[in-house]
Structure 1
Amino acid sequence: MHGPASPGWLLVALCAATGAYCLLRMRSSDETQRRAAGDEALMGFGMAAMAVPGSAFTPPAWVWPAYAVLFGGAALRALWVGRSGTHHLHHLVGAAAMVYMAAVMTASPTAGHAHGGSGVPLLTGGLLLYFAAYVLVSGVRLMPVAGAPGSAATGSAPAWGDRPELARACRLSMGIGMLAMLLTI
């Protein structure tokens, strides 16, 4: 992606750490948690790889179409699984956004948008609005609720890999990362 190196490396670190935590979440005893964690790990590591500053590493031309194919497959999987739940629809939007960013980088790996004209393309603007709303909603969901399951008031804490607040924080950080990446293309 384009942009200054320091924020780019911070984005790489955030996304890689999120992907690593999602890999650890795949050890959950809940099958739906494991599947969601696997999808989120793919997104976290994929975002980390795409966010490496161009000044540090210029990938070969085949990398961007490969990302498009990889995340196109992830989008199809999310579409198939999304028939049963809304969170997978978010995975579909995230994977589609990654395909879009890879396609933009394929078209113009050094100059940003190759769409001509000025301003933000409509699809980029729509994705920015979606992820901004997602980040705000995710942030609100992180606020503690007295007496909620797993809170100190109830005395029963879930296993560390099944903690919903950690999964929400993971999703929040990936939403922020997606916003940052969309702003730089």
Structure 2
Amino acid sequence: MHGPTSSGWLLVALCAATGTYCLLRMRSGVEEQRRAAGGEALMGFGMAAMAVPAAVFTPPAWAWPAYAVLFGAAGLRALWSARSERHHLHHLVGDAAMVYMALVMAGTSAHGHAHGSSGIPLLTGLLLLYFTGYVLLTGVRLLPVAAVARGGTAGGGAADGWGDRPELARACRLSMGIAMLAMLLTM
């Protein structure tokens, strides 16, 4: 991505840590958690790889089309899974955003770094609006007032492992949403 090197490395660290946590969530005893965590781990590691500053490492020309194919396949899987679980629609949008960014990066590496147009492209703007809304909604869901209003405890049941805690999964999704916003802003 195009941007300052220090913020690029912070983005890499955030996405890699999120991907690692999602891999750990795949060990959950809850099948729904495992399925969602796999897609989120792929997204986290893919975003980390994409966020490596261009000043440090320039991927080969074939890398961007490979990203597009990988996340296109993940998007098809998310579309198929969305039939039974609504949350996979968000994965579909995230995968589509990754395909879009990979294709844009393939175009900029083939034609230099100048886009030749001014302003934000329509698709980038729509994705920015979507992920801004997603980040705000996910952030509100993390507020501790919601746990008190339901009359439950913030930690969940005693049988839940730390990987099955919904607030940690939401925090993971929130950090990836913020990272996606940062990546879209640097395009």
TM bracket, shorter-chain basis: over 0.9
The correspondence of residues 17-32 of structure 1 with structure 2, limited to 5 A, is 17-32=17-32
Q: 1:51 to 1:155 in 2, by over 3 A?
A: closer
How far apart are 1:31 and its partner, in Å?
A: 0.7
1:6 partnered with 2:6? yes
The farther-off stretch of 86-95 and 101-110 is 101-110
Aligned counterparts of 1:44 and 1:83: Cα–Cα separation in 2: 23
Partner of 1:36: 36
Partner of 1:51: 51
Amino acid at match of 1:136: L
Instruction: State the identity %.
Output: 73
Aligned counterparts of 1:70 and 1:80: Cα–Cα separation in 2: 16
Aligned counterparts of 1:73 and 1:28: Cα–Cα separation in 2: 24
Task: Give ranges in structure 1 of 5+ residues lacking alignment.
Answer: none
1:173 partnered with 2:175? yes
Q: 1:60 to 1:120 in 2, by over 3 A?
A: same
Partner of 1:156: 158
Deviations 1:6-55 (A, max 9, x none): 00000000000000000000000011100100000000000000000001
Q: 1:149 to 1:101 in 2, by over 3 A?
A: same
Give the paired residue count: 182
Partner of 2:125: 125
Q: Contact 1:150/1:157 (CA < 8 Å) preserved in 2?
A: no
How far apart are 1:157 and its partner, in Å?
A: 6.1
Q: Contact 1:150/1:158 (CA < 8 Å) preserved in 2?
A: no
Q: Contact 1:150/1:156 (CA < 8 Å) preserved in 2?
A: no
Task: Give ranges in structure 2 of 5+ residues lacking alignment.
Answer: none
TM-score by length of 1: 0.94
Aligned counterparts of 2:92 and 2:151: Cα–Cα separation in 1: 29
Deviations 1:58-89 (A, max 9, x none): 11000000000000000000000011122100
Partner of 1:89: 89
Amino acid at match of 2:62: W
Amino acid at match of 1:46: G
Partner of 1:68: 68
Q: Contact 1:79/1:88 (CA < 8 Å) preserved in 2?
A: yes
Amino acid at match of 1:7: S
How far apart are 1:111 and its partner, in Å?
A: 1.2
Deviations 1:137-183 (A, max 9, x none): 0000001121554536x873621110000000000000000000000
The correspondence of residues 97-116 of structure 1 with structure 2, limited to 5 A, is 97-109=97-109, 110-111=112-113, 114=115, 116=116
Aligned counterparts of 1:95 and 1:181: Cα–Cα separation in 2: 14
| Secondary structure of the corresponding residue to residue 108 of structure 1 | helix
Q: 1:104 to 1:149 in 2, by over 3 A?
A: same
Deviations 1:116-152 (A, max 9, x none): 3210000000000000000000000001121554536
